[in-house]
Amino acid sequence: GADPLAFGQVVIGPPGSGKTSYCHAMREFLGRLGRSVAVVNLDPANEALPWPCALDIGQLVTLPDVMAALGLGPNGGLLYCMDYLAANADWLRDGLRRLRGHYLLFDCPGQVELYTHHHALKDIFTQLAKWNFRLAAVHLVDSHYCTDPGKFISVLCTSLATMLHVELPHVNVLSKMDLIEQYGKLAFNLDYYTEVLDLSYLLDHLASDPFFRNFRRLNEKLVEVIEDYSLVSFVPLSIQDKQSMRQVLQAVDKANGYSFGDQEQRSLEALMSAAVGADFHFSSTLAVQEKYVQSQDKAVEEEVMDL
């Protein structure tokens, strides 16, 4: 029969961007909100996982075995593992069936070619959609890329290529915000990276750098493309900070449609009937929804703070 609707996050981003730590922190955070969560490790290079994992690609195929058996290096070995996973989708489906009723966090490999032109992982995501998973890609980028406009533009391009290749609703997250002070001065104020849509600043800044001056036309074109896809918002994340985790979660819930699920709809109706006053005179359901999610999270957050 058809699989029941399930929700989750596909956590992607370059090696070292903090994916495994994010999955762990998000699992704890969601657990405190009362969501049953399971982490699925799809990264064959994640050896000796520091925290429990409900399903692990290592049970199907391991990178050292592949490298030894086929004489491949780590990169080729990893791509082979992903092809192997795609070819053994039944293994994944059986494993996920045991996790029904859970909200899933998929910890994915970091190799950039998986997200720009190699097809295995994209095919796996397509399968998941057919099995009734509603997923959002959470793309983590280490915030130290903000310290340099040249790096930032390359990150924007990688994010865009990833979005177009992976074809999932997408939330871009600047991770390790708590460390950003250590990276030295930011090229712009932080809100520039998280809210601004005007990349012309970036062009002027790049023009003042002798290396980029020659590439002014190219940069202008890149910026146009990025702006056309309006991919420029990043959510800042420090996993130690509950407020910051909540912002990321809200963005993700909106992206994969979780915030419009039945359960939340019923809670919303209950809340609406209980709430009287000017607070709720909104025409747009989304405004109501956001307000509701915030007040619900606030209530939960207060409980969490008490824990």
pLDDT value at residue 278 = 36
Of residues 172 and 266, the one with the higher pLDDT is 172
pLDDT value at residue 32 = 86
Q: Which pair of structure tokens corresponds to residue 219?
A: 């940069």
Percent of the chain with pLDDT over 90: 33
Report which of 245, 246, 254 is spatially closest to residue 136, judged by C-alpha positions: 254
Whole-angstrom Cα distance, residue 38 to residue 230? 32
Look up residue 230 and give its DSSP letter. T
Q: Are 261 and 7 in contact (CB under 8 A)?
A: yes
CATH architecture of 6-196+232-278: 3-Layer(aba) Sandwich (3.40)
Q: Are 181 and 56 in contact (CB under 8 A)?
A: no
Q: What is the pLDDT of residues 264-299, one digit of tens each?
A: 555 555 555 544 433 333 333 444 445 545 555 666
Q: What is the pLDDT of residues 235-250, one digit of tens each?
A: 777 878 887 888 888 8
Of residues 80 and 182, the one with the higher pLDDT is 80
Q: Given a cut of 80, is residue 51 above it in pLDDT? A: no
8-22, 67-81, 167-181, 292-306: segment of lowest average pLDDT: 292-306
With a CB cutoff of 8 Å and minimum separation 6, the contacts of 298 are none
Domain ranges of the chain: 6-196+232-278
Q: Given a cut of 80, is residue 29 above it in pLDDT? A: yes
Report which of 43, 40, 38 is spatially closest to residue 13, judged by C-alpha positions: 43
With a CB cutoff of 8 Å and minimum separation 6, the contacts of 116 are 158, 161, 162, 165
pLDDT value at residue 94 = 96
Instruction: Supply angle C-alpha 268, 269, 273, rounded to 5.
Output: 115
Q: How confident is the model at residue 90 (pLDDT cuts 50, 70, 90)?
A: very high
pLDDT value at residue 125 = 95
15: Cα separation from own chain's centroid:
14
pLDDT value at residue 276 = 42
